[in-house]
Structure 1
Amino acid sequence: MTYSKNLLRADFTASLVVFLVAVPLCVGIAVASGVPAELGLVTGIVGGLVTGFLPGSSIQVSGPAAGLTVLVYEAVQTYGVSALGVLVLLAGLLQLLMGALRLGRWFRAISVSVVQGMLAGIGLVLIAGQLYSLADAKAPGSGPEKILGLGGLVLDTVGDSAALTAFAVGAGTIAVLLLWPKWSAGARVLPAPLAAVLLATAATAVFDLPIARVEVKGLLDAVQPPGLGDFGNLASIGMLSTVLAFTLIASAESLFSAAAVDRLHDGPRTDYDKELMAQGAGNTVCGVLGALPMTAVIVRSSANVAAGAKTKVSRVLHGVWLLVFAAAIPGVLGMIPLSALAGILVHAGWKLIPLRELGPMWRQHRAEAVVLAVTALAIVLTNMFEGVLLGLLMAVVKTAWETSHIHVETEDPGEDLPLRVTVLGNATFLRLPKLQDQLDALPAGRRVELRLEKLRHMDHACGLALSTWEEQHNKMADQTAERSRTAEPAAAEREGEDLLT
C-alpha cells in the first residue's frame, strides 16, 4: 500500500484522539499503581515509539493497562519502586523468547472464561481500592481488607468535609464519563476521559478546593533504571512468580485485545507471534527505564480505529505527542486532582467486569460462568497469580469432565457364555465413579468379557480399575458358580431323603 497524503491526514487526526484518551489513563494508572505519574507517560511513549514501529498488529495501541494495576501495586509495595524495572525487564525478555518460539498463537487456547474472570477480579479490586482514593483516603493492602473497610470509609467520609469535597469531584468525574459520550458534539471535540479530567481540574483550580493533587517529579527524575542490586531479589520465589504473572497476563491481554481489534477493521490481521515480540521489546525498554509494564489496550485501540487510523503511523505519532507533553508541560500534571483520576479508574474497573455476558453465559454455558466467577472471587480473596492459576485449573478440569463421556453396552451371546461388555468414549479418572456404578450393576454371578478396543482414550487410573474389576468380578462369578454346582447334589440328596421318609 502506497502511503499518501490522505492516509497521513487520517493517521494524524487519529493520533491526536488517541493521545487525548491516553494522557489521563496513563497518569491515573501510574498513580493507582503506587509509582510517579510520569512513569505512566513513559510507558505510553515507549508503546508508541518502540512497540508502535514493530510488526504484529498495525492498528492497536499499547501503553499502561488498568488490568495490571493491582498486580503492579502489590509488587511495588512488596519489593519497592526500584525493583519494578527488573520485573518488567524480565517479563519483556520472556515475551521476546515466547514470540521467537512461536508461542503467541497458543494464547488463543486460554479459556475465555478465565480471561474474563481475571479481568472481572482485577476490576473488583481496582474499584474497591479507588473508592478510597475518591475520598483522598489510604486504601488497605489486600482485597478482602478493602471490601471490609468500605463501611468505615463511608462513615469517615460523611464526617469529613474535605473527604466529601474530594468524593464529589470524583463522583462528578464518573458522571461526565457516563454522560459525555451522549453529547455527540462534545464527544467529537474531546474524548470523555480528557473532558472529565479537564472539568475536574478546572473546578478544583477555580474554587481552590482543599483536595489532593498529583505529585510531579519531572520526567527525568521519575525514570529510575534498575541497578545491579535490584536483581538480587530474583532468588525469591515471590519475585519470580510476579515476573511470570506479568508475562502471562500482559501477553494474554495484548493478544486478546488484538483479536478484538481485528474485528473492528478491515486491514491486515494480527500476526500473534510478531505482536508478542513487539510487546516484549516494549516491555524490555520499559524495564530498562524502570517504568510500568505495557500491554495492548482495547480502549485506546478502539479509539484509534474509530478515529479513522489506517496504519501504524497513528500509534507512533501518539507516542510523539505524549513525549512532547511530558517534556514540555509536565507541570500541568500537578493541577490534576487525585480523586478525578480515581473516578476514571473506577469507571475503567467497572468496564472490566463482563456484566452483559454473565446472563447469557449462565443460561447457555453454566460451567463457564462458574469458572469466571471462581476466578474473579479467588483474585479478590487471594492475589492475581493464585486466582488465575485456580481459574486455569478449573477450566482444565471442566474441559476434561465435559470430554470424558463414557457409557457401557452389553451383549448376551447365551447363558453359558460370558457377557460381552463394551466400554465406549473417553475413560478418565473423572468418570471412574460413574463407570464403576454401571459395571457393578451387571449380574454378579455371570462372567464378563470386557472389551476396550472402542475407547478413544483411557488414562492409567481407568485402565488399572477396569482390569482389576474384570478380574475380581469373574473370580466372584466363578466362586458363585462353584457354590451353585456344589449345592445342587446336596439339594438332590436331601430331596431323596425326604422322599424315603
Structure 2
Amino acid sequence: MMIMHTNRRTSSYWPDIGASLVVFLVALPLCVGVAVASGVPAELGIVTGVVGGIVVGLLPGSSLQVSGPAAGLTVLVADTVAAHGLAALGLIVLGAGLLQVVMGLLRLGRWFRAISPAVVQGMLAGIGLVLVLGQLYPFAGAAAPVSTAEKFAGLPGLLLAASPYAVALGVLTLVVAALWQRTRFRKVPGVLVAVVVASAVGLLLPLPRIQVGSLSDVVRAVDFSLFDTGVLGAMVTFALVASAESLFSAAAVDRMHNGPRTQYNRELVAQGVGNTVCGLLGALPMTAVIVRSSANVRAGARTKASRVLHGVWLLLFAVALPGVLSFVPVAVLAAILLQAGWKLLEPRRVLALARTDRAEAAVLVLTAGLIVVTDLLTGTLAGLLAAVVKTAWDVSRLTVTVTPDGQDHEHVELRGNATFLRLPRLLDTLEALPPAKHVRVDLSGLRHLDQACRQAIEQWADSHRTAGRTVDLIRL
C-alpha cells in the first residue's frame, strides 16, 4: 500500500515536470530576444527569467502564471538605458520592485483591474507597434536607429539595404512557427522548432549572431550614487507598467484554467520581490508574461512547481550550455519578436472594437499613437485621462424637456445626470425660454445634480425672479 501511494504521488508530479520543460523551451529564446531588443546584454534576460521562475514561482499569488522579461517592457527599458545608462538599470528596477511590494501591502492590486480595457489594449498595441518597428531593422540585417522618428524615416531606405539572407531566414522562422502549430505535435513549442530549424539553415549563411557569455560577467552591484529625480520617475513608471501588465496577464490566465484564482495583492508583492532581486543583480525588469503562462496552462501544469522548475532549467542551461545560443542568428530572434509585437498589436480586436464602440476605439488609438510618438508613460496617462473624460461624458446624460403649461406658464423637466459637462446646454435651454410669467423647473427626475449645475440653476432662478417673474424649483 505504501508503494502504491508513493507511485501515485510521483506520477502526479509528471504533468508539472513536462510543463516546466515546455515553458523553459518557450522562455529561453524570448529571454534572450527581449534583452537584445532592449539594448542590453543577452545574459541579463536569462538572469531575469531565472529569478522570475525560482523566486516569484515560490511565492503566493498565482499558481500557474509565469514571470520573466517581457516584450512589452522592451521599449521602456531601451528608452531608460538610453537616458540613464545601463549602470542605472539595476537601481531603477530595485526601486520599482520596492514600490510594487508597498503597493501590494497597501492592497492596491485590485485597483489595476479597474483600468479601462481600451487603455490596456491601446497600451499593448502601442508597445507592439514600437516593437515591430524596431525589429524590422535586425530582421532585415540592418542596425536600428535610436529614435522612433528615425526608424520611421529609415523604412524606405531599409527596403533597398535589406540583406536577402537575413530576410529569408526571418521569413523561414515565421513560416515554421505558424505551420508547426497546425501539426499534431503542437505541444512542442512552435517558437522552439522555428529557432532550431532557422538556426540550422543559418549555419550556412554569413549573418550576425547573438553573443551569450557567463551570467557572472553581467551581474553588477547597485550604484546608489546614480539616484536623481529622473531615476525616481523611471522607478515609478516601471512599477506602474510592470504591475499593470502582470495583473492584466493574471486576469487572462485565470480564464484559461479551473484552478485557484489569482490573489492580486499577493501577486503584486511577489512581482515586487522578484523585481527587487533583479535590481540587486542589475538585471532586466520582470512581469508576468501571457505567452509563457498560456504555454504553461496548455502543457497541463497543475501547481506552481512547473514555473519554479522552468527557472531551474534556465539556470542549468545558462551555466552548462551558454555557447549553444551563439548559433542563433540575430534575424531569427528579430522574427520571433516581430511575432510577439504583432500579437500585442492585435489588429483584429482593434477593428472589432471600432465597429462596436467608436469612442472606445478612439481612446485606444489615442493611447497607442501617443506611445509611438512620445513615450509609454505619456501615452498611457493620456489614454487614462481620455477614458475618464469619455466615461464622465457617457454618464452625464441629461434630458431637458420644455412644455408650455397654459398661456403664461412653462414647465421644464430635467432627467438623468446634471453635471458640469452638460451645463452649457442646460443654461442655453433655460435662457432661451420665452418671457413667461411663471416657470416650473422639475428636478425630481434627476439621478444626480452636481454643485456647478445646482448653483447655475439657482442663479438663473434668482435673475428670473428679479425680472418680476416667478420660478418654482421642484427639488430632488
The two structures have a TM-score, normalised by structure 1, of 0.88
> Deviations 1:135-159 (Å, cap 9, x if unpaired)?
23222223233123211111222xx
Return 458-467 or 45-54, whichever deviates more: 458-467
- Equivalent residue in structure 1 for 2:224, among 204, 220, 228: 228
- Kindly report which structure 2 residues correspond to 1:420-431, keeping only aligned pairs within 5 A, or say none: 420-431=411-422
**Higher Cα Rg, which structure:** 1
- Cα distance between partner residues in 2 of 1:114 and 1:477: 52
Return 454-463 or 302-311, whichever deviates more: 454-463
Contact conserved, 2:116 with 2:384, CA < 8 A, in 1?
A: yes
Contact conserved, 1:450 with 1:470, CA < 8 A, in 2?
A: no
Q: Counterpart in 1 of 2:81?
A: 76
Amino acid across the alignment from 1:28: G
Whether 2:352 is the aligned partner of 1:360: answer yes
Q: Counterpart in 2 of 1:335?
A: 327
- Cα distance between partner residues in 1 of 2:440 and 2:306: 70
> Deviations 1:419-466 (Å, cap 9, x if unpaired)?
453433222222222223332342234443445455333334323332
- Equivalent residue in structure 2 for 1:47, among 32, 43, 52: 52
- Cα distance between partner residues in 2 of 1:141 and 1:471: 63
Whether 2:433 is the aligned partner of 1:442: answer yes
- Equivalent residue in structure 2 for 1:62, among 59, 63, 67: 67
- Kindly report which structure 2 residues correspond to 1:196-215, keeping only aligned pairs within 5 A, or say none: 196-205=194-203, 207=204, 209-215=205-211
Whether 2:365 is the aligned partner of 1:369: answer no
Q: Counterpart in 1 of 2:212?
A: 216
CA displacement at 1:133 relative to structure 2? 1.1
Q: Counterpart in 1 of 2:474?
A: none
* Secondary structure at the counterpart of residue 126 of structure 1: helix
Contact conserved, 2:213 with 2:323, CA < 8 A, in 1?
A: no
Q: Counterpart in 1 of 2:99?
A: 94
CA displacement at 1:171 relative to structure 2? 2.0
Return 297-306 or 403-412, whichever deviates more: 403-412
Whether 2:324 is the aligned partner of 1:315: answer no
Q: Counterpart in 2 of 1:184?
A: 184
Amino acid across the alignment from 1:472: S
- Cα distance between partner residues in 1 of 2:236 and 2:53: 24
- Cα distance between partner residues in 1 of 2:278 and 2:444: 56
- Cα distance between partner residues in 1 of 2:9 and 2:433: 78
* Secondary structure at the counterpart of residue 182 of structure 1: coil
CA displacement at 1:309 relative to structure 2? 0.3
Amino acid across the alignment from 1:353: L
CA displacement at 1:472 relative to structure 2? 3.2
> Deviations 1:277-311 (Å, cap 9, x if unpaired)?
11111111111111111111111111101110000
Contact conserved, 1:445 with 1:476, CA < 8 A, in 2?
A: no
Return 406-415 or 240-249, whichever deviates more: 406-415
Q: Counterpart in 2 of 1:172?
A: 172
- Kindly report which structure 2 residues correspond to 1:487-498, keeping only aligned pairs within 5 A, or say none: none
- Equivalent residue in structure 1 for 2:244, among 233, 252, 261: 252
- Equivalent residue in structure 2 for 1:273, among 262, 265, 268: 265
- Cα distance between partner residues in 1 of 2:302 and 2:212: 35
CA displacement at 1:37 relative to structure 2? 0.5
- Cα distance between partner residues in 1 of 2:50 and 2:208: 26
Return 389-398 or 401-410, whichever deviates more: 401-410
Distance 1:137 1:474, change over 3 A: farther
Contact conserved, 2:91 with 2:224, CA < 8 A, in 1?
A: no
Distance 1:440 1:327, change over 3 A: same
Whether 2:465 is the aligned partner of 1:465: answer no
> Deviations 1:113-154 (Å, cap 9, x if unpaired)?
100000000000100000011123222223233123211111
Q: Counterpart in 2 of 1:140?
A: 145
Amino acid across the alignment from 2:83: T
- Equivalent residue in structure 1 for 2:111, among 100, 106, 116: 106
CA displacement at 1:244 relative to structure 2? 1.9
User: 5+ residue gaps in structure 1?
Assistant: 158-162, 480-501
- Cα distance between partner residues in 2 of 1:13 and 1:314: 8
- Cα distance between partner residues in 1 of 2:450 and 2:217: 59
User: 5+ residue gaps in structure 2?
Assistant: 1-5, 471-476
> Deviations 1:216-243 (Å, cap 9, x if unpaired)?
2321011123222232xx223xx33322
- Cα distance between partner residues in 2 of 1:90 and 1:338: 32
Return 382-391 or 465-474, whichever deviates more: 465-474
Q: Counterpart in 1 of 2:393?
A: 401
Q: Counterpart in 2 of 1:432?
A: 423
CA displacement at 1:175 relative to structure 2? 1.8
CA displacement at 1:415 relative to structure 2? 5.0
- Cα distance between partner residues in 2 of 1:140 and 1:446: 73
- Cα distance between partner residues in 2 of 1:242 and 1:464: 43
- Cα distance between partner residues in 2 of 1:435 and 1:253: 42
- Equivalent residue in structure 1 for 2:24, among 19, 22, 37: 19
- The Cα RMSD (Å) is 2.0
